Amino acid sequence: MGVLCGALFIVGGTIGAGFITGAELVRFFGAKNFLFPLILSCLIFFILTLLHLHLGKKHGGAAGVFALFGRGEKVVRLIVLLCAFVSSAGMLAGLDALLPSLSPLLSLAGLAVACLFLARGIGGISKFNFVLVPLLIAFVFFYARGGLRLSYPIAQGGGLGLLYAGMNVFFMAPVLMDAGREMKRPLLSSLLAAGIVLAAAVCILGSVCREGANAVTAEMPFLAVAKGKAFSFAVGLAILTSLVSSLYTPFSLCDALKGKKKIAAKGATVLAAFLLSRLGLKGIVGLIYPFIGGAGILFSALCILYDQLLEKGNKGVHACGEHAENAGRAHHEVELEHLPAVDDEVPEARP
C-alpha cells in the first residue's frame, strides 16, 4: 500500500457523516477560536494513527495486539466491538437524516453496500476509499471557496478536541492494525492523512462560521453552506466510506467464530447498530461520542503499556539466557582422549 493510497485509506475512515456535515466538528471544537485546538487534535490524530499502524505491523494485525492483554483480551474485544457499532449507528443515522422521507430505506441500503465491500477485506476498503475520498475532499474545498472565518462569537460546543482524535482512531483501530501489516511507509501516510483532515476541517468550520448563527446551531451546520442535491450526494458517499471502516471491526471480531455463530454475531451487530441509529445523528454525537473519545485515548495508552511490558519481559528472558552458567546441562566437546583405542579392525578376545 503506497503513501497516497495509505493516506486516503486513513482519511476514508475519518470523514464520515458527522465530519462532513460539520456536526462533529462544531460539537468537539466549537465555533470560537477553533484553529489551535484543531491543529493540536490533528497532531494527536497523526501520533495515534502511526502508533496503531506500528503495533499492527509488529504483532501481525489486530488479533496479535489484542493478545497483549492476556486474560483481559475478551473484555478489550467487547469494548472495541461496542464502540464500533456505535460509530456504525452514527453513519446510519446520518443517511436517514439526508432524506427523512425515505427513512429507514437509505440506512438499510447503506448496510447492504457496506457488507458487499467488506466481503473483500482490507483490499476492498482500500480501493473504495481511493476512488471516493478525493471526490469528498474536492467537494469540501469547492464550497469553501467563498472565504473562511476562523472564529464566531457563538461558542457552540467545543473543548473536546483531544477526545475527537482519540474517538476517530479508536473507531478504526482494528482496521488500522490490520492495514499496518502491509503499509510500506506508514509515517508519511499518517502525516499526509492528518494534513488532509486538518485542511478539510478548517474549510468546513471556517465556512460554517462565515455563514453565521443559523449554520453554527444547525443539526448539519455545513448544509447551510453547501445547499442542494450535491451536498446530499457527497454526504452519502462520506457516510459509506466511514460505515465500511466502522463495520470492519465487529465483522473481523465475529470472524473468530465459526458456522452459524459467526453469521448470528454479524447479524446481531448490524441489528444493534440499526436500532441505535434511531437516536438520530445529533443525539449520538452529543451523548455517546465524547465517552468513546476518552475510551480511545485510554485504549491507545494501554496498548503502549502492554507492548512495552511484553518487550521488557522478553528482554529479561533473553538476558538471563545470555548470562546463564553452564552447569553440565549441555553437551561437552568430545576430545580424542575420550575415544577408546582400537588396535585392529576386528578386535581379538583377551585370554
In a domain, 351, yes or no: no
In a domain, 112, yes or no: yes
Instruction: Quote the pTM value.
Output: 0.75
In a domain, 328, yes or no: no
CATH number where 234 lies:
1.10.4160.10
In a domain, 254, yes or no: yes
In a domain, 53, yes or no: yes
Range(s) of the domain holding residue 34: 3-318
Site of grid cell 549441555 = 330
Which pLDDT tens digits describe the chain residue by residue (351 residues)?
688 888 998 998 787 767 888 888 888 887 778 888 889 999 999 999 999 999 999 888 888 888 888 888 888 887 877 777 777 777 787 777 777 777 778 888 888 888 887 877 788 788 888 888 888 888 888 888 777 877 766 655 556 677 788 878 887 888 888 888 888 889 999 999 999 999 999 999 888 888 888 888 777 788 778 776 677 788 788 888 888 887 887 777 777 777 788 888 778 877 877 887 777 656 555 566 667 777 777 878 888 888 877 665 555 444 444 444 554 444 444 454 444 554 555 555 554
Residues 259-268: tens digit of each pLDDT: 788 888 778 8
Residues 21-45: tens digit of each pLDDT: 888 888 888 777 888 888 999 999 9
Residue 336 pLDDT: 46
Q: How far apart are CA 43 and CA 50, in angstroms?
A: 11
Distances (CA, A) of 57 to 60, 65, 84, 266: 5, 10, 22, 26
Residue 155 pLDDT: 59
In a domain, 327, yes or no: no
DSSP H stretches of helix in the chain:
3-12, 17-20, 23-29, 35-59, 62-66, 73-98, 105-118, 121-143, 161-171, 173-180, 186-211, 213-216, 229-254, 259-276, 281-287, 289-322
In a domain, 334, yes or no: no
The count of structural domains within the chain is: 1
In a domain, 141, yes or no: yes
Site of grid cell 473543548 = 159
